[in-house]
Every structure is written in structure tokens, then in C-alpha cells.
Amino acid sequence: MHPRSVDFEIHMHVSIHHYLVLAAVLFCLGLLGVIIQRNILIMLMCIEVLMNSINLTFIALARYYNQVDGHLVAIFVMAIAAVEAAIGLGIVISLFRNRQSIDINDFNSMRG
């Protein structure tokens, strides 16, 4: 076998690493978005990205271990994401109603 073809084979082969690294990148991007965004709505969307990256990890590992349990967890995470979105958006609405703003910098009443 030609060594180049082996390299190519390994290179082109999609292993568990690819999925895990993708999930990690998504997770950090979501985190970065939460931190640098000022718009509360987009921050909430970033949180959804975080949850999706977790789901991706679970599903990739479920495939890796050939066990369906990871899928179950993904379903539960989706349910929790739905609840979180509902509550979060409810909070956004009530915040906007009181302060007429969705800029996170305007909410600094925690400052001592």
C-alpha cells in the first residue's frame, strides 16, 4: 500500500474526534457570543447554541458506543432548552416592558 494513500485514508476518515472538536468549537463560540453580545435576545440564542453543542457531543458518543442512551439525553436537553427559551423570553418581555431596553449594559442593579 502506498503511504500517501494511507495518509489520505486517515485524513479523510471522519472519526469521533471530528465531532467532538466541532462540538467544542460550537460550545466556545456560544460562550463567546453570550459574553460579547449586548443584545439579550441574541444572548439567549447563543445559549441555545451551547445546548446544541452538548447535544452533538452526546449523539456522537452514542454512535461511538452504539448505545441509544445519548439520544435520550439529547431529547431531555431539547425539552430543557424549550423551557429555558420560554422562561428567558418571558423575562425579556417583562424587562423590556419595565425598562424599554434589551441592552444588557442597562441592567446593572447588581452593582453594589
Partner 1 sequence: MIPKDFIILIPLLPLLGFLINGSITYEQLRGRVCANKSMVSFVACLMPFLSFALGLWVLLTLALHPEIKSISTPHLLDWMILDHFHLTFGLEIDHLSSVMTLVVTGVGFLIHLYSVGYMHDDPHYSKYMSYLNLFLFFMLVLVVADSLVLLFVGWEGVGLCSYLLIGFWFTDKEKAKAGKKAFIVNRIGDFGFMIGIFLIVAAFAAAVPPDTGTEIARDFLSFSYLKTHAGVLTPIITAVTLCLFFGATGKSAQIPLYVWLPDAMAGPTPVSALIHAATMVTAGIYMVARLHFLFVMAPFTMHVVATVGLVTALLAAIIGLTQYDIKKVLAYSTVSQLGYMFLGLGVGAFSGAIFHVMTHAFFKACLFLGAGSVIHALHHEQDIRFMGGLVKKMPITAVTFLVCTLAIAGIPPLAGFFSKDEILFMTYANEHTRHYFWVGLFTAGVTAFYMMRLFVYAFTGKTRYEHPEKIHESPWTMTLPLIILAGLATVAGFLGMPGHSIIGGWLSHLGQITPHHIEGSALQEFHLMGISVGWAGFCALAAFFLYKRNLNFTEGLKRTFKTLYSFIYNKYKVDEIYDFLFVQPIKGFSQVFLNRFFDQKIVDGLMVNGLALSSRFLGRCLSLIQTGLAVHYLLFLLIGLCLVIWFIVNG
Partner 2 sequence: MNPYFFYAFATITVLMVVLMILQKNPITGAMCLIVSFFSLAGLYVLLEAHFIAVLQILVYAGAIMVLFIFVIMFLNLKKEDLKTGRRPFYQFAALIASGALVTFLVVQYTKIPPVSFPESVAGFGTVEAIGSLMFSKYVIAFEVIGLLLLVGIIGAVLLGKKENHD
Which residues form the interface with partner 1 (CB under 8 A)?
Answer: 31, 34-35, 43, 104-105, 107-112
Nearer residue to partner 1 within complex by CB, 31 or 62: 31
Q: Is 65 helix (H, G, I), strand (E, B) or coil?
A: helix
Q: How far is CA 103 from the centre of its chain?
A: 22
**Residues 74/55, Cβ–Cβ less than 8 Å:** yes
76-95 positions binding partner 2, by CB under 8 A: 76, 78-87, 89-94
Nearer residue to partner 1 within complex by CB, 39 or 67: 39
Other Cβ atoms within 10 Å of 30 Cβ, number? 21
Q: Is 66 helix (H, G, I), strand (E, B) or coil?
A: coil
CB of residue 109 vs partner 1: minimum separation in angstroms? 7
3-32 positions binding partner 2, by CB under 8 A: 10, 12-22, 24-32
